[in-house]
Amino acid sequence: MFFLLLSTIALGAVIAGIVMIANRALGGRLPRWLAPAAAGLGMLVFTIWMDYGWFDMTSRGLPDGMMVVSSYETSNTLQPWTLVKPKINRFAAIDLDTVEANRIEPRYRRVRLNLFTRYEPVRQITQLYDCEGRGRIDLLPGETLDPTNVADMAWAPVGDDSRALSAFEAVCRKEIDPARG
């Protein structure tokens, strides 16, 4: 966030400098308010562009094996343009390289879910999938659970949206190295 602030201020200074150089080249014909107005407008546009581009830039930068499973839009009255087009400020991605099958019941799979939020460090949780029962359980950090001893009602049904189904299918169809799972 600090570097974004520095970048925004530097951009504003560059834009103001360009307008002042143009004003000098034109013999001082431009209004005096134009340099700070152009700097302010440039900083605002840059900030909006960075806010709306964060999800695409971050998700495109994920390593192979990471799959976005959900994203969350947000609106804010202090940013009125988000009331027209909400921005994505957080998303979740599973790491398919961490999929492990249960040694007793291979229908159960364990996978790491990464939670990305703008301006915050990435958090990780573990999810359990029941590939036959189409269910999922989110585990708390450090929590361990034997999925073979869990009541059916504890499993949350996998959602019907395309990303949730794609994640479920990717986890359940993943070939598991016998040494790992």
Residue 117 in any domain: the answer is: yes
pLDDT at 111: 92
What pLDDT score does 177 carry? 60
Q: What pLDDT does 139 receive?
A: 85
Instruction: Judge contact between 78 and 45, C-beta under 8 A.
Output: no
Kindly give the confidence (pLDDT) of every residue in the chain, 181 residues in length, as a single tens digit, with 9 standing for 90 and above. 789 999 999 999 999 999 999 999 999 999 999 999 999 999 999 999 999 999 999 999 999 999 999 999 999 999 999 999 999 999 999 999 999 988 888 889 999 999 999 999 999 999 999 988 888 888 888 777 777 777 777 788 887 777 888 888 889 887 766 555 5
SS3 assignment for 70-132: EEEEECECCECHHHHCCEEEEEEEEEEEEEEECCCCCCEEEEEEEEEECCCCCEEEEEEEECC
Amino acid type, 181: G
- Within-domain flag for 181: no
Tell me what pLDDT residue 39 has.
97
Helix axes 2-25, 34-60, angle to 10 degrees: 140
pLDDT at site 163: 81
Residues 102 and 161 reside in one and the same domain: yes
Model pTM? 0.80
The answer to the question of residue 94 being in a domain is yes
**Integer CA distances (angstroms), 57 to 44, 45, 154, 175, in order:** 19, 17, 36, 29
Domain boundaries, position 22: 2-60
Number of domains in the chain: 2
